[in-house]
Amino acid sequence: MLSKIFLALVTMFSILPFNSNQKKVFDFAYPKRKGTEITLSAEHFKAFTKEWRGSDYYYYTESDGLICSVLFYKLNNNERKELIDVPKAAIGGPEKSPAYPYSYFKNYSNLKSMERNDSTWGGPTDDFMFRQNDVVLEGTQFSQKNMYGYAMVDKDLFVNIHLSKTACSNSDSTEMVDILKSLTIKK
């Protein structure tokens, strides 16, 4: 009888999937502000550090050379007028759109002069807009793949999700796109 139970347990456990790289859902939010939570799924990361940077809130992790950061960028009143109110009035745009943070972070990127092969997907009525590019240092062999997700979770709060990897393989790029595809805004 005991051998039958043992055989049944061995059979049962042999058909169950044992995958140590199961995707984990990570939650991010601007502290003490309801309605700002976003999630992403990834199997690569274990935990994120978090810190205040002035009025902005920043999450960061790195594993096997793949870096992921999530920045909640708090707009002051002047930035809100310049980056949202003026364009919204000029084009009749919505109150909230990922197009606002997309435009801001793309145009004010510190790496802009080194960015190559820039491409974009997602639209201004989606929850997120996305961008990818390669950062190349001229005269060197350095190349870094960068992918971004942009959202606007409140009238004065942009979110910039940034993934990067040097010596990025095709499977690394696929994993990065999958992470961006997993992004959700909790509503």
What CATH number should be reported for the domain holding residue 167?
3.40.1000
Residue 117 lies in a domain: yes
Residue 9 lies in a domain: no
Residue 1 lies in a domain: no
**Identity at 20, one-letter amino acid code:** S
The pLDDT value recorded for residue 4 is: 53
pTM above threshold 0.85: yes
Residue 155 lies in a domain: yes
Residue 180 lies in a domain: yes
pLDDT exceeding 90 applies to what percent of the chain?
A: 81
Indicate the average pLDDT of the chain. Answer: 90
Residues 187 and 78: their CA atoms lie apart, in Å, by 28
Count: domains in the chain: 1
72 CB burial (10 A radius; 0-12, 13-18, 19+): buried
Residue 130 lies in a domain: yes
- Enclosing domain of residue 37: 26-185
Give 56's strand partners. 53
The pLDDT value recorded for residue 15 is: 45
Residue 158 lies in a domain: yes
pLDDT tens digit string along 135-168? 998 888 889 999 999 999 999 999 999 999 999 9
Residue 166 lies in a domain: yes
